[in-house]
A and B are shown apart, each in its own frame.
Chain A
Amino acid sequence: MTVKVYSTPTCPYCSMAKKYLDSKNIQYQDVDVSKDRSAASEMVNKSGQRGVPVLDIDGNIVIGFDKDRIDSLFF
């Protein structure tokens, strides 16, 4: 499964989401949208909104640290 996490450095939910993925040994690509403009647009297009974190799990878009949804996509 390919996982991409769109995040910013100051967002606490982004840290929580990434820590959660780490705890489950899930590999992911971490993209800082505050620095990468095209990634920011990409995130907005995929999720229809401008909040972080956004997780793209094999094309499934998860907005926010939605643990239940993340679990349902993996386990």
Chain B
Amino acid sequence: MYDVVIIGKGPAGTSSSLYTIRANLKTLVIGKDDSAIRKAGKIDNYFGFSNTISGEFLLQEGEKQASRLGVEILDDEVISVEKDDFFKVMTARETYVSKAVLLATGQPQVKAKLENLAEFEGKGVSYCTTCDGFFYNNLKVGVLGFKDYAIHEAVELETYTKDITIYTNGRELLLSDKFKDQAGRFKVNSKPLLKLDGGDFLQRIFFNDGTSEDIEGLFVAYDSASSLDFARKLGIVADGNSIVVDKYQQTNLDGLFAAGDCTGSFKQISTAVGQGAMAGRKIIEYVRSL
């Protein structure tokens, strides 16, 4: 069991790990090579460097620093986070149990472009299977997505209905071995999507080629799970696209913290690093209080 699992290995996550590891907390950082600052070729406003630096350089230095201090860093993608007595953080390969979790996942993913998606939210379109699955008992549903996260969501839906189609919107399924096996259970439709249609509630999904299919529910699980997806499942408060935290970076769920861009603040390396440090300190206090 870990004392803390940090999801995201950008400035916020890595900064936090420097604090937790130095307080002797068993620390695991799980993140993808997907940080927003990878795109920053020239950074001049981050304190401490007399010359212009790149985001890539900062990330690498941060990782080396954390590793040197004993932080375990895993290059992987988190599919889901659950809380029982402790937190269970799942990647495609393994489940990690931890006393505390820090969400440092950065800006939420770009939404899938599908006409009328927003219009049918709550009326057939949902972003959370565990929250809304029961409304679709024995109904015909789809999961919009093409990666491990989409398959994970489809599996969650099986409790409620057997009629599940994965709509990849023109993409190839991009799956790890564990999810490739599970994907075989579902119908997969790779046709590019055009729009959703219906009356008061969702009734049909239209493809670019003009054809359409009946559908009663569509669960959006596009690309990878974001902090918002974890938020919905865990029942923590989010404000639009941001996780709501107090001044100590705590969410409304004990042991769950958030820092950096995912909290929707002034999205800068400087603030992410600071929030990571605040979170780190509170995480230490929290774990010691258990």
What is A's interface to B at a CB cutoff of 8 Å? Answer: 8-13, 15-16, 33-34, 37, 40, 44, 48-51
Inter-chain CA distance A50–B124, complex, in Å, is 8
Q: A11 and B134: CB pair below 8 A?
A: no
Q: Which residues of B contact A10 (CB under 8 A)?
A: 130-131, 233-235
Interchain CB contact (< 8 A) of B135 among A12, A13, A15, A50:
A50
Contact with A along B125-169 (1 / 0, CB 8 A): 010001110110100000000000000000000000000000000
Q: How distant is A32 from chain B, measured CB to nearest CB, in Å? A: 10
What is B's interface to A at a CB cutoff of 8 Å? Answer: 122-124, 126, 130-132, 134-135, 137, 200, 233-237, 252
Interchain CB contact (< 8 A) of A12 among B126, B134, B200, B252:
B252
**Closest residue on chain A to residue B125 by CB atoms:** A50
Shortest beta-carbon contacts, A-B, top 6: A49-B122, A10-B235, A51-B122, A50-B135, A12-B235, A12-B237
Q: B135 and A44: CB pair below 8 A?
A: yes
- Centre residue among A8, A10, A48 by max chain B CB count within 10 A: A10
Q: A37 and B137: CB pair below 8 A?
A: yes
Q: Which residues of A contact B134 (CB under 8 A)?
A: 33-34, 37, 40
Q: A48 and B200: CB pair below 8 A?
A: yes
Inter-chain CA distance A12–B128, complex, in Å, is 14
Q: B130 and A50: CB pair below 8 A?
A: no
Q: A50 and B126: CB pair below 8 A?
A: yes
Interchain CB contact (< 8 A) of A11 among B122, B131, B200:
B131
Q: How distant is A7 from chain B, measured CB to nearest CB, in Å? A: 11
Inter-chain CA distance A51–B127, complex, in Å, is 11
Inter-chain CA distance A8–B126, complex, in Å, is 15
Inter-chain CA distance A59–B192, complex, in Å, is 43
Inter-chain CA distance A15–B253, complex, in Å, is 12
Inter-chain CA distance A6–B122, complex, in Å, is 15
Q: B131 and A8: CB pair below 8 A?
A: yes
- Centre residue among B122, B200, B237 by max chain A CB count within 10 A: B122
